[in-house]
Amino acid sequence: MIRIVTLAAYDEGDITHLSKTLYRSFGLGTEHAGVRALPKKAERDDGRFDAIRLLADGPPVRAYADDKVLYITDKELAIPKGPLGEPPTWGFAEQGGNKALISTFRFKPRGVTEASIEVFRRRLARESIHFIGHLWDLHHCYDARCAMHPSWSPTLPDDPEFELDAFCRDKSERRVRLAKT
């Protein structure tokens, strides 16, 4: 079961579309667990939110074994700087764990036209699949058409696909089958 927790106000249509997409991708039931307050402790001095801390201090959600919880926020996220600098952050997840977080801060504005809303929904679905994929132990994929391709890659198109490629899909299905429940 995938439980979606929104940390900001989102359109109900967008969340419904996301639930359906996640169900199609992983074959797991998906539901919206409600809107929760953002933990202010995770805010840094520069106004961004520490992704690791936000996920650790995220509002608790009733979940059972193997349930995956996906938090969605509209705040800018930050991660520790690496040896070559800080990669742009679209989200964070516990590899092989239960909680993931995505941010819609870097998305194109949702707008009011059907086309812009569609683009927003597709991107929301892609990033959600990407970080839930990490929860199922998937790694990044070199195929730009796969949802597990890094979100900042220069080869990623403007409106990327939101499906897993064959290898990642097989691997995630294996993991899902091996799950306890």
Q: Which residues bind another protein (CB under 8 A)?
A: 52, 79-80, 82-85, 87-89, 92-96, 134, 139-140, 142-143, 150, 152-155, 167, 171
Shortest CB 34 distance to another protein, Å: 25
Nearest to 171 by CA among 142, 143, 134, 144: 134
Round to whole Å and give the CA distance between 115 and 100: 28
- List CB contacts of 112: < 8 A, sequence separation 6 or more: none
Shortest CB 161 distance to another protein, Å: 16
Residues in the chain: 181
Nearer to another protein, 23 or 167 (CB): 167
Nearer to another protein, 32 or 106 (CB): 106
Nearer to another protein, 31 or 170 (CB): 170
CB 119 within 8 A of CB 108: yes
Shortest CB 11 distance to another protein, Å: 28
